[in-house]
Chains A and B, each alone.
Chain A
Amino acid sequence: QITLRESGPTLVKPTQTLTLTCSFSGFSLTNNEEGVAWIRQPPAKALEWLALIYWDDDKRYSPSLRSRLTITKDTSKNQVVLKLTNMDPVDAATYYCAHTAAARSPKEMFDSWGQGTLVTVSS
């Protein structure tokens, strides 16, 4: 059974860098076709894909946020870390990590999600 859990600060100040950690079990990012994505959802708004990292360290970023995002993995800890620089109140959202299977194929899907972590941006 795949489980994912997001952790990180619940409050950040404008201009600060947000660092979130996704801790997972039930799969390994050393295995072919595995990946972990980050997706966010502002209050009462739609889902927005942010970034994704694959088992072979291939990384994908949302074009609109590429300059502010960094995604990394630590396979020994079964963790994926997302950094988002220069935080602004519009970045306030619930941030989810999700497992992706059948990586880089048309069949790719976000089949398991964490519970999400709510991040507020305020001075």
Chain B
Amino acid sequence: SYELTQPPSVSVSPGQTASIPCSGDQLGDKYACWFQQKPGQSPVLVIYQDNQRPSGISERFSGSSSGNTATLTISGTQAMDEADYYCQTWDRSTYVFGAGTKVTVL
């Protein structure tokens, strides 16, 4: 079965840039989405089709994809960005999530 791999945690200082990688076999040939989930809340779509932002999502969030890795970048990280982030794609009619990355703003 298809798997997506994310680091368990990423730490970032306020105002700095956080990068969260998500790797999977030939992931660059598929589209990736990214979700933000804060404690006790439902996931929120922050990036779709690798690098598109839904309306209402801050410009601080951007995405890219190449080779086997998709990356979510948070620029000018703020305390409100502290959350779990999940990447997701689909493979052979099944939908796969990564294990999630906890972003801590120190």
Contacts and interface: CB of A to CB of B under 8 A. Distances in A.
Tell me, yes or no, whether A binds B: yes
A70 B85 CA distance: 29
Given A111-B54, A113-B42, A47 B100 contact: yes
Contacts of B1: 63-64
A106 B97 contact: no
Interface residues of A, number: 22
Given A46-B97, A60-B93, A107-B48, 5 more contacts: A39-B97, A47-B86, A64-B1, A107-B49, A111-B54
10 contacts: A46-B100, A49-B96, A49-B97, A60-B93, A60-B94, A96-B43, A106-B30, A109-B33, A109-B49, A110-B88
Interface of A: 37, 39, 46-49, 52, 60, 62-64, 96, 106-111, 113-116
